[in-house]
Amino acid sequence: MTEPTTLLLVTTRYPYGHGEEFLETEIKYLAREFDTVIVAPSETSDAMREIPANVELDLSLANLLSKMRDMCSHAILGTTFRSLALAITGLRDFRLSRKPYTFLYQTLRAAFRAGLAQHWLEKRPSQEQVSLLIYCYWLNEIALGLALASRTQGGPKVICRAHRHDLYEEEMPAGKRPLHTLFEENIDAIFAVSESGLESLKKQFPALEESLTLSRLGVEDPESRGLRIPHTREPGTSRLVSCSTLSPVKRLPLLLAALKHLGDRFPTNRFDWHHFGGNGSSLDALKQEALETLPSNVVPHCHGQLSNRQVLDFYSSNHVDVFVNVSSSEGIPVSIMEAMSFGIPVVATDVGGTREAVVPGSGLLLSPNPSFQEVATALAEHLVAPNVWQEMRACARKTWAARYDAAKNYPTFAKQLKSLAVS
């Protein structure tokens, strides 16, 4: 009789709050493959998303990390010396950093959080009668701490996904990964979500090359979820959509400038722009800037932070001509995959793994740092001559089906994890 299999999934916030949207789909496939899935978020909030029946929550890691500033905490005091030792080891890479003082701070912070994670795993009840795998959704210091604890105890394997800010070293505050060498020495396997990410990992961790794997993320077929895919364009209006946070890396001011240029260039055309994402004062500022910047024939609709289902319902109810993303950095955006699953062509900057989704025929790649004129020209080429997009709509849908169909990607990934758990 085989041992039961358990997956310990460590996240940042999932299933709380927003973010880590891919896990909302992936978790269903993990729960089918493993007898038990335990989700341990590092942070919590009031709002919680739905999880499958055989998924358990462990909030002890979040509770421990929330005491990080409480230096009187027994767990914190017990971790200090271990963390200092990690930091000293990590400073071997100090001279390689472009920003030495930032690197010093980031190393100390990472070492402390890694030490706490190590302490947490060592104190968790052992599960000797099950085949256990630890899966960290991010390649971060929490994952490192768990790997160190597992190696010390002769415990289960620790594997990670790697996305963007946890992957590309040039995106990190110090331009270098804190505790870089310890990652290479202790993580058992890393799954990159894009070919671009996989190549970056091979350069960063040459000793791990045989343990580095491409495992694409995915979104579900809208039609399998009871959603329709609009095929008939509404006459008289061009509708474009963007979906992102309002952080500087998303470059919403650049998009606003491009939309202004587009409207001024084609004053007799109407353009409806729908943006999903953001909230609070940042969203209010975006709305105000849009009203002050855009000409009357460009109509902004700033929807703010909606649930994933609400965004998909919008795609199902409205014919969208083009999805646009002008970010300066990306891993591989879920927003692009979702748009393409509805057959929506994409205009996006050539950053991260975006070129793996926006292939010739399914949309148009912009330069990594485009001018607003370049963005406007790309949009105009297709919005003003929409017949060009009919073939692109079919190609966008085919590209999603070939590369980002959750029903293909996640069962394969779940089986890979299970094989690691029992090996």
- Cα(312)–Cα(314) distance, integer angstroms: 5
Confidence class for position 74, pLDDT limits 50, 70, 90? very low
Per-residue pLDDT tens over the stretch 200-222: 999 999 999 999 999 999 999 99
Beta strand 363-366 with 322-325 is: unpaired
- 312 and 164 in one domain? no
> CB–CB of 272/297 below 8 Å?
no
The tokens for 73 are 């905490």
CATH of the domain at 268: 3.40.50.2000
- Cα(272)–Cα(379) distance, integer angstroms: 13
Beta strand 131-136 with 5-11 is: parallel
> CB–CB of 324/298 below 8 Å?
no
Mean pLDDT of 368-397: 84
- 376 and 243 in one domain? yes
- 11 and 111 in one domain? yes
pLDDT of 307: 84
Per-residue pLDDT tens over the stretch 129-180: 678 999 999 999 999 989 988 988 888 999 999 998 888 888 887 778 888 8
The tokens for 102 are 């930032």
pLDDT of 29: 96
- Cα(25)–Cα(387) distance, integer angstroms: 34
Per-residue pLDDT tens over the stretch 8-40: 999 999 999 888 888 999 999 999 999 999 999
Residue 190, pLDDT > 80, answer: yes
The tokens for 260 are 């202004």
- 161 and 35 in one domain? yes
Size (the chain), residues: 423
- 92 and 18 in one domain? yes
Confidence class for position 73, pLDDT limits 50, 70, 90? very low
- 248 and 143 in one domain? no
Asked whether the bond before 15 is cis by omega within 30 degrees of 0, the reply is yes
- 176 and 251 in one domain? no
pTM, entire model: 0.86
User: In sequence order, what E strands does 108-186 have?
Assistant: 131-136, 158-162
* Total of domains in the chain: 2
> CB–CB of 39/56 below 8 Å?
yes
- 331 and 268 in one domain? yes
pLDDT of 278: 85
The tokens for 318 are 């409205």
> CB–CB of 10/136 below 8 Å?
yes
Angle (CA) 22 220 399, round 5°: 100
- 212 and 239 in one domain? no
Residue 363, pLDDT > 60, answer: yes
- 239 and 198 in one domain? no
Angle between helices 334-341 and 389-403 (to 10 degrees): 120
Per-residue pLDDT tens over the stretch 286-304: 999 999 999 999 999 999 8
- 310 and 186 in one domain? no
| Contacts for 47 with CB less than 8 Å, ≥ 6 apart | 16, 17
Residue 75, pLDDT > 50, answer: no
Q: Can you give the residue range of the structural domain that contains 135?
A: 5-218+406-422
Per-residue pLDDT tens over the stretch 93-141: 655 556 766 777 777 777 778 878 887 888 887 766 678 999 999 999 9
Confidence class for position 309, pLDDT limits 50, 70, 90? confident
- 228 and 120 in one domain? no
